[in-house]
C-alpha cells in the first residue's frame, strides 16, 4: 500500500481514520480488518485500541460522522443477510442456492457476506436459531386460552375459527419460512428435527385444548388430537409452499380468508364433535 501523504505529521488517530477512509472507498467497511488499518497507518493494534477504545465500531461511528460510510450498523447487515438467505433458499432451493445469490439478494458483496457467514450451513443454522417457528401461533393460542379462562370465549366453533385464523395468517406472512422447513425435511433431517421440536411446542396449546374437550365428552375420543391439528395446519401449509400461479390450482383458491376458515372449521368440527 502506498504511504499516506504527510504520514509523519499526522497524529495516530488521524492516520487511522485516513487509512480507514481510503480502504472504505474501495470495499465495504465490514470487510476491512483492524490489521489492515493498522498496517496502512504504520501503527500497532495496541495503538489502534488506544485511539479507539470501542474498537472497530467506534471507528465506524467516526466514518459515519464524516460521511465516508452510511449509518447502517453491522447488526443490520447481519440481519439483512439472514433475510436474504431465507428468501433465496425458499425460492431456489437449498442445494441450488449460492452465496453469490444471497449476497446479491442482500445488496452486498460476496466478501462482505463471508465476513458474517462462512458457508450456507452457517446461514441455515443462524436462520433456524433466530426464527421461532410457530411463535405467532403460540402467542395467538395464549390469547385464546386467556379468553377461554375468563369466560369471554366458550363456543368451540369460534375457538377453532380463531385458531385456524392464526394458522392462515402465519403461513401467509411467513411463506418463505414454511417453504424452507419443507425443503429441510428432505435435505437436512437433523436441522428439520430442530424445526419439528419448535413446531411441536407452538402447537402444544392447541393439542391441550382438543384433549380437554375430549375429556369433557364434547369431542370424540377416537380422534387423535395431534392429527386433527396437523390436518388443520397442512391446509394452510399448501398455500404457503405453492409458488406463484400454483395456488390458483388449489380447490379452495377462489375462497377468501374468512370463507376458507369457516368451511375448514365446519368440516373438521363436525368430524370431531361428539354426537348424541
Residues of the chain above pLDDT 90, percent: 22
Q: How far apart are CA 154 and CA 141, in angstroms?
A: 14
Q: How far apart are CA 41 and CA 20, in angstroms?
A: 9
Residue count (the chain): 276
Q: pTM for the complete prediction?
A: 0.62
pLDDT of residue 161: 92
Which of 89, 75, 81 lies closest to 108, judged by CA?
81
Is pLDDT at 9 greater than 50 in this prediction? no
**What is the band of 4 on the pLDDT scale with cuts at 50, 70, 90?**
very low
pLDDT of residue 19: 92
Q: How far apart are CA 218 and CA 213, in angstroms?
A: 5
Q: Do the beta carbons of residue 256 and residue 201 sit within 8 Å?
A: no
Q: How far apart are CA 24 and CA 186, in angstroms?
A: 42
CATH architecture of 135-272: Orthogonal Bundle (1.10)
Q: Which CATH number fits domain 74-130: 3.40.50.300, 3.30.360.10, 3.30.413.10, 1.10.10.60?
A: 1.10.10.60
- Helix residue ranges per DSSP H, 109-253: 110-116, 120-130, 135-149, 156-173, 175-187, 189-215, 225-241
Domains 74-130 and 135-272 alike in fold: no
Average pLDDT of every residue of the chain: 82
pLDDT of residue 18: 92
Grid coordinates given for 265: 372449521
pLDDT tens, position by position, 185-195? 777 777 777 77
Which residue ranges make up each domain of the chain?
12-66, 74-130, 135-272
Is pLDDT at 260 greater than 90 in this prediction? no
**What is the band of 1 on the pLDDT scale with cuts at 50, 70, 90?**
very low
Is pLDDT at 238 greater than 80 in this prediction? no
Element (H, E) at 79: helix 74-92
**Most distant CA pair in the chain, distance:** 95
Q: How far apart are CA 111 and CA 99, in angstroms?
A: 10
**What is the band of 85 on the pLDDT scale with cuts at 50, 70, 90?**
very high
Chain center to CA of 36: 33
Question: Which CATH code for domain 12-66?
Answer: 1.10.10.60
Amino acid at each position: 500500500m502506498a504511504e499516506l501523504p504527510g504520514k509523519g505529521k499526522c497524529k495516530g488517530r488521524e492516520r487511522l481514520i485516513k487509512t480507514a477512509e481510503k480502504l472504505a472507498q474501495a470495499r465495504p467497511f465490514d470487510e476491512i480488518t483492524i490489521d489492515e488499518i493498522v498496517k496502512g497507518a504504520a501503527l500497532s493494534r495496541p495503538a489502534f485500541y488506544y485511539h479507539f477504545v470501542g474498537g472497530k465500531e467506534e471507528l465506524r461511528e467516526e466514518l459515519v460522522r464524516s460521511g465516508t460510510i452510511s449509518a447502517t450498523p453491522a447488526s443490520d447487515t447481519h440481519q439483512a443477510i439472514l433475510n436474504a438467505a431465507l428468501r433465496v433458499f425458499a425460492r431456489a432451493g437449498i442445494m441450488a442456492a449460492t452465496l453469490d445469490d444471497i449476497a446479491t439478494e442482500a445488496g452486498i458483496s460476496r466478501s462482505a457476506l463471508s465476513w458474517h457467514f462462512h458457508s450456507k450451513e452457517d446461514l441455515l443454522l443462524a436462520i433456524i436459531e433466530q426464527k421461532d417457528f410457530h411463535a405467532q401461533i403460540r402467542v395467538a393460542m395464549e390469547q385464546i386460552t386467556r379468553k377461554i379462562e375468563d369466560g369471554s370465549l366458550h363456543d368451540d366453533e369460534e375457538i377453532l375459527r380463531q385458531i385456524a385464523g392464526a394458522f392462515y395468517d402465519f403461513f401467509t406472512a411467513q411463506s418463505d419460512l414454511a417453504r424452507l422447513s419443507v425443503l429441510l425435511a428432505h435435505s437436512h433431517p437433523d436441522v428439520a428435527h430442530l424445526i419439528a421440536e419448535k413446531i411441536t411446542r407452538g402447537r402444544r396449546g392447541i393439542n391441550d385444548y382438543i384433549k380437554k374437550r375430549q375429556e369433557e365428552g364434547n369431542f370424540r375420543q377416537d380422534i387423535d388430537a395431534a392429527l386433527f391439528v396437523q390436518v388443520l395446519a397442512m391446509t394452510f401449509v399448501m398455500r404457503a409452499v405453492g409458488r406463484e400461479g400454483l395456488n390458483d390450482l388449489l380447490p379452495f383458491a377462489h375462497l377468501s380468508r374468512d370463507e376458507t376458515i369457516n368451511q375448514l372449521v365446519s368440516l373438521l368440527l363436525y368430524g370431531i364433535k361428539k354426537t348424541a
